[in-house]
Amino acid sequence: MALDQTTIERAGDELLDAYRGNTTVAPLRDRYEGIDIVDAYRIQEHFMNRRYAAGERIVGKKIGVTSKAVQEMIGVFEPDFGQLTDIMQIENGGTADLDKLIQPKAEAEIAFVLKEDLVGPGITATDVIRATDHVRACFEIVDSRIDNWDIRIQDTVADNASCGVFVLGEDKIDPRDVDLTLAGLLVEKDGEPVATGVGAAVQGSPPNAVAWLANTLGRLGMPFRAGEIILSGSLAPLIPVAHGDRLAAYIGGIGTCEVSFANGGAAALFRTQEAADA
Amino acid sequence: MLDAAVLDEMADIVAEAQAAPHTIAKLTEKHPGMTIDDGYAVQDRLLARWEADGRSLIGLKAGLTSKAKMEQMGVNEPSFAMLMRDMQDPEGSTIPTDKLIHPRVEAEIAFVMKDELSGENVTIDEILDATDYVQPALEVLDSRFEKFKFDLESVIADNASSARFVMGGRPRRPRDLDLRTIGLVMEIDGEIVATASSGAVLGHPARSIQMLVTWLHGRGRTLPAGSIVLTGGATEAIAVKTGNAVFARFQDMGEISVRIG
């Protein structure tokens, strides 16, 4: 049985408090009996509505749970999605402030930027390529408001699909100019290879994930607009991050994206660097 | 170093197990003092026999080129082994398996060298300059050890599980590609069984050649012009059986298709 509205709001408020207080809560699935994926999206909606009310603005979507490995781990054989807002974006080469994140990990992905609305159902990968202005390399720094990342699908969906912050690379590539299925990825941490992957790991090919999203949003009656940024799903396993790390993602035929991590943000990293140089 | 007589005997055991395929016990069981250098000394003996039989060396291959595999084996350099001219099968062919015990296939990038490379500290740039072209490759591995269970010393003596290899798809100039980020998808009978990026090999497959040339230098050798080098599996090695169709796609490098005979 679906959770009632009061319960949905209570769960969403809990997540908002955790998000604002930089803390975690126990998994929702253990505490809200009968919670299903539909309930979880309603909780996400409440959680995000309160954030929009406080001034955040939607700039796009993220798609999660797109790889076979993660789907098997979580026991769900379709992706999920969350909302990207303006305050989540970090400029390319910028620094993610670890003090403002709880338990972040990095994922390297292919981002799509739409030039036309995509209104599902019935959207195919063909429609996605047609409606895409460009693709670019990106990092999504995922984060969880659930204790120790102890998540099942209901927990992560309610928690805005474990979205943290994101970084877009600068190169903008027309999807007609690259083989998205075979786009290879190398991630280096301070110059050492730490992760590799390929576009095919995302639902067979990244446009398939975007088509899934358009159709899912269409069914839910949610808009999917020209100009939105879509993070289409991780090409490689999650990468742990710590103060002082600098990550670079190279995606074949698409481009490069870079991000650093520091407690206290860029200023702190700068001070660390100066101390190291001195 | 083991006695020459012991190394000769090991070469006999491996050569027989490869010629009339059967599994053998790890060589270290009888000779626990066997070293990695002993393993390579067995390879040298195998080569001498094979050349005496009229077979010729066409190149070299690197194995254990991913960080995960190196950590698993407790080593910090790849293993190297010999590629003979008669181990190569054409693209689109059926790979003979009558001499194979439990074959596995992995996808990787092959380099074809146009200039000799030598020295202790060859750079990636020098390697790319000395390369004629790069091309997709499939390597068919087969261990002569029970269930592919071996230690590093034994597997090196077994020519690092080499069996067959195929090169195909588009030859490309190495500087026309970013060799860190060539995406690969390998399918068996139409199902994706492995995905990878070429950077899975030490961040850049030319690093395998860098370590190979350094290793050769330590043995007073060079990498001859014209050599084929298989730089190491970007994907994991997947078990195959008779009748399987193996298909691998490489970003901007085309594809290779073979059948397992």
* Mean pLDDT across B59-68: 90
**Cβ within 8 Å, pair B196-A196:** yes
**What is the predicted ipTM?**
0.89
Alpha-carbon gap: A175 to the closest alpha carbon of chain B (Å): 14
* pLDDT given for residue A278 in this prediction: 64
Enumerate the residues of chain A whose CB falls inside 8 A of the CB of residue B196.
184, 196-198
What kind of architecture, by CATH, is found in domain B57-260? Answer: Alpha-Beta Complex (3.90)
Task: Compute the mean pLDDT over every residue in chain A, rounded to the nearest whole number.
Answer: 94
- Match domain A5-277 to its CATH number in 3.30.1370.110, 2.30.30.140, 3.90.850.10, 3.40.50.10860: 3.90.850.10
* Mean pLDDT across B25-46: 96
- The 10 Å Cβ neighbour count of residue A218 is 17
Residue B43 vs residue A76, higher pLDDT? B43
Enumerate the residues of chain B whose CB falls inside 8 A of the CB of residue A186.
180-181, 197, 199, 203
The DSSP line for A103-132 is S-EEEEEEEEEESS----SS--HHHHHHHE
pLDDT category at B68 given cuts 50, 70, 90 is confident
- A199 touches B at CB < 8 Å: yes
- Whether A272 shows a pLDDT value over 70: the answer reads no
Using CA coordinates, name the residue in chain B closest to A185. B181
In chain B, where the domains are located: 57-260
- Whether B102 shows a pLDDT value over 80: the answer reads yes
- Whether B67 shows a pLDDT value over 80: the answer reads no
Enumerate the residues of chain B whose CB falls inside 8 A of the CB of residue A201.
195
- Whether A273 shows a pLDDT value over 90: the answer reads no
Q: Quickly tell me which residue has 């003090």 as its tokens.
A: A99
* Mean pLDDT across B231-252: 96
**Which 3-state string (H, E, C) describes chain B?**
CCCHHHHHHHHHHHHHHHHCCCCECCHHHHCCCCCHHHHHHHHHHHHHHHHHCCCCEEEEEEECCCHHHHHHHCCCCCEEEEEEHHHEECCCCEECCCCCCCCEEEEEEEEEECCCECCCCCCHHHHHHCEEEEEEEEEEECCCEHHHCCCHHHHHHCHHHEEEEEECCCCECHHHCCCCCEEEEEEECCEEEEEEEHHHCCCCCHHHHHHHHHHHHHCCCCECCCCEEECCCCCCCEECCCCCEEEEEECCCEEEEEEEC
**Cβ within 8 Å, pair A253-B184:** no
Per residue in B136-170, pLDDT (tens digit) is: 999 999 999 988 888 999 999 999 999 999 999 99
Contact A100, A145 (CB under 8 A): no
* pLDDT given for residue B69 in this prediction: 79
Per residue in B1-21, pLDDT (tens digit) is: 899 999 999 999 999 999 999
* Mean pLDDT across A72-83: 89
Per residue in A59-73, pLDDT (tens digit) is: 999 999 998 888 888
**Cβ within 8 Å, pair B199-A183:** no
- A250 touches B at CB < 8 Å: yes
In whole angstroms, give the CA distance from residue B31 to residue B151.
Answer: 12
* Mean pLDDT across B211-237: 96
In whole angstroms, give the CA distance from residue A239 to residue A194.
Answer: 8
**Cβ within 8 Å, pair A198-B249:** no
B 150-189 residues with CB < 8 A to A: 178, 180-185
Using CA coordinates, name the residue in chain B closest to A237. B196
pLDDT category at B121 given cuts 50, 70, 90 is very high
- A237 touches B at CB < 8 Å: no
Alpha-carbon gap: A201 to the closest alpha carbon of chain B (Å): 7
**Cβ within 8 Å, pair A186-B197:** yes
Of B180, B185, B252, Cβ closest to residue A198: B185
In chain A, where the domains are located: 5-277
- Whether A269 shows a pLDDT value over 80: the answer reads no
* Mean pLDDT across A146-174: 96
**Cβ within 8 Å, pair B251-A250:** no
Enumerate the residues of chain A whose CB falls inside 8 A of the CB of residue B200.
193, 196
**Cβ within 8 Å, pair B199-A181:** no
At position B261, the amino acid (one-letter code) is G
